[in-house]
Amino acid sequence: MTSTSLDVAAIRKDFPILHRTIRDGKPLVYLDSGATSQRPVQVMDAERHYLETSNAAVHRSSHQLAEEANDAYEGARAKIAALVGVGIDEVVFTKNATESINLVAYAMSNASVAGPESERFKLGPGDVIVTTELEHHANLVPWQELCRRTGATLKWFGVTDDGRLDLSDIDELITENTKLVAFTHQSNVTGAITPVREIVEKAQSVGALTVLDACQSVPHMPVDFMRLGVDFAAFSGHKMLGPSGVGVLYGRHSLLAAMPPFITGGSMIEIVKMEGSTYAPPPARFEAGVPMTSQVIGLGAAVDYLNALGMENISAHEHALTEAAIAALREIPGVSIVGPVDAVDRGASVAFTIEGIHPHDIGQVLDDQGVEVRVGHHCAWPLHRRLNIPASVRATFYLYNDLDDVTALAKAVVEAKKFFGV
């Protein structure tokens, strides 16, 4: 069954893993793309092709292989930059989104003990970093640590009962003491999409930097960082059909050009003397060491794949699945959706609980039916604490899912209730 704007049957042919079976022959229903997405053959082929034809250490040697490797690596950077509406030199490759966020946190940490040239990024007692209770740990713990190292104070936006950001106290939270505001574009649990512009405008009005966790938005909808106006943004390759081991940090060029490095060493330098060194302009300044080349090229192929389908179409498709999933789950007595029940400003992460069954146990029965979801707190423990639940079950949909997967999920949930007698 197809749902909307995508030919899912055709798409699924590109994903060999979707044709395997689970636990004694059940067809795989993969609903954990929010954790990691599956990869199409085009991505795997691109990595393999690069390794079979042009593999070399980029930005070092001058032989022909190195030339080809450079072109492939930088070509991928250009595709990724275009996807999110930013300049090529504003894209820094990292290991993953977690490292991207840590890069900013540690650069600010380094700035805080550096000279006046790093004034823009200095933090100290009296300064405030604002984050939110909705965050993935990756956009919370680095800021807690940065506050601990610098003496700055961490404050946060709360969450409404239906899992959206509560911005009602924005004027009290973001003040002239605020140096940085870090927040998610879309909750990896509740699916709530943040009104980014509202926060950015407020942050800009007090001169605070903004960091956007775009892990759950870039893979699923059209995103233009320039238009959103954020200063930094992080996302992961493996959540958008690409390989693991590659993440992206977007940084506004003027900021990257002024920011001290995080990881230092080879290929990020300008001049090295025994007495000290100067650093290359961005993005090289933030890419020390031989980078994850084939993964970057694989990510470039993933971007091609997404563009061929169209981010608008992917977003519309997922929207239809989200609506269907929420409706199907809400029909089952005892099921509570963790997050907004209307599909407005909401992505395809559908988390829920079932009265009387622990999420781990639900997940086990679902897995027995071939339905692969995530259970636990999904690296958003404070959010679960705020909502007074120890854990939840999370189904996340992507471009290769269809309405049959929604039906399979609902059927497996009914099965879980039957199994545990609730």
Partner 1 sequence: MRLDQMYQEIILDHYRNPHHRGLREPFEAEVHHVNPTCGDEVTLRVHLEGAGPEAKVLDVSYDAQGCSISQAATSVLTDLVLNKTVGEAFEKHQAFLELMQGRGQVEPDEDVLEDGIAFAGVAKYPARVKCALLGWMAFKDAVARVES
23-42 positions binding partner 1, by CB under 8 A: 23-24
Looking at the Cβ atoms of 362 and 399, the one nearer to partner 1 is 362
Sheet holding 178-184, edge to edge: 91-94, 247-251, 232-236, 209-213, 178-184, 128-132, 153-159, 165-166
8 Å CB contact between 112 and 149: yes
Q: Could you say which of 34, 359, 373, 400 contacts partner 1 (CB under 8 A)?
A: 359
Looking at the Cβ atoms of 276 and 421, the one nearer to partner 1 is 421
Positive or negative, the CA dihedral 21, 25, 29, 31 is negative
Supply 413's token pair: 């949930």
Q: Could you say which of 13, 358, 386, 411 contacts partner 1 (CB under 8 A)?
A: 358
| Dihedral pair phi/psi, residue 284, rounded to 5° | -55, -35
- Count other C-beta atoms under 10 Å from residue 418's C-beta: 10
- Coil, helix or strand for 209? strand
The CA-atom distances, in angstroms, between 416 and each of 178, 323, 365, 373, 389 are 47, 22, 6, 13, 19
- E strand or H helix that includes residue 236: strand 232-236
Looking at the Cβ atoms of 223 and 412, the one nearer to partner 1 is 412
80 sits near partner 1 (criterion: CB under 8 A)? no
Q: Could you say which of 145, 201, 323, 368 contacts partner 1 (CB under 8 A)?
A: 368
215 noted as active-site residue: no
375-394 positions binding partner 1, by CB under 8 A: 375-377, 381, 384, 390-391
Minimal distance, residue 358 CB to partner 1, in Å: 4
Burial of 271 (0-12, 13-18, 19+ CB in 10 A): exposed
Is the bond preceding 283 in cis, omega lying within 30 degrees of 0?
Answer: yes
Candidate ranges 74-82, 139-147, 307-315, 370-378; the one touching partner 1 (CB under 8 A)? 370-378
Minimal distance, residue 231 CB to partner 1, in Å: 31
Minimal distance, residue 23 CB to partner 1, in Å: 7
* Contacts (Cβ under 8 Å, ≥6 apart) of 16: 41
Minimal distance, residue 35 CB to partner 1, in Å: 12
CA atoms within 13 A on the CB side of 265: 6
List the x/- string, 300-329, binding to partner 1 by CB under 8 A.
Answer: ------------------------------
The CA-atom distances, in angstroms, between 127 and each of 19, 78, 112, 181, 323 are 53, 36, 11, 12, 42
373 sits near partner 1 (criterion: CB under 8 A)? no
364 sits near partner 1 (criterion: CB under 8 A)? yes
Looking at the Cβ atoms of 62 and 388, the one nearer to partner 1 is 388
The CA-atom distances, in angstroms, between 289 and each of 90, 93, 246, 285 are 19, 11, 14, 10
Q: Which one, of 47, 94, 29, lies nearest residue 234 by Cα?
A: 94
218-257 positions binding partner 1, by CB under 8 A: none
Candidate ranges 237-245, 324-332, 337-345, 358-366; the one touching partner 1 (CB under 8 A)? 358-366
Tell me the C-alpha distance between 25 and 175, whole Å: 57
The residue from 31, 268, 351, 379 that is catalytic is 379
Looking at the Cβ atoms of 203 and 338, the one nearer to partner 1 is 338
**CA quadruple 87, 88, 94, 96: dihedral, nearest 10:** 60
Looking at the Cβ atoms of 12 and 358, the one nearer to partner 1 is 358
134-193 positions binding partner 1, by CB under 8 A: none
Look at the block and give the residue holding tokens 């940090």.
249
Minimal distance, residue 146 CB to partner 1, in Å: 21
Tell me the C-alpha distance between 185 and 189, whole Å: 12
How many residues lie near partner 1 (CB under 8 A)? 18
Candidate ranges 31-39, 61-69, 284-292, 373-381; the one touching partner 1 (CB under 8 A)? 373-381
Looking at the Cβ atoms of 214 and 391, the one nearer to partner 1 is 391
Looking at the Cβ atoms of 279 and 381, the one nearer to partner 1 is 381
Minimal distance, residue 376 CB to partner 1, in Å: 4
Site residues (vs partner 1, CB under 8 A):
23-24, 358-361, 364-365, 368, 375-377, 381, 384, 390-391, 419-420
**Catalytically annotated residues:** 379
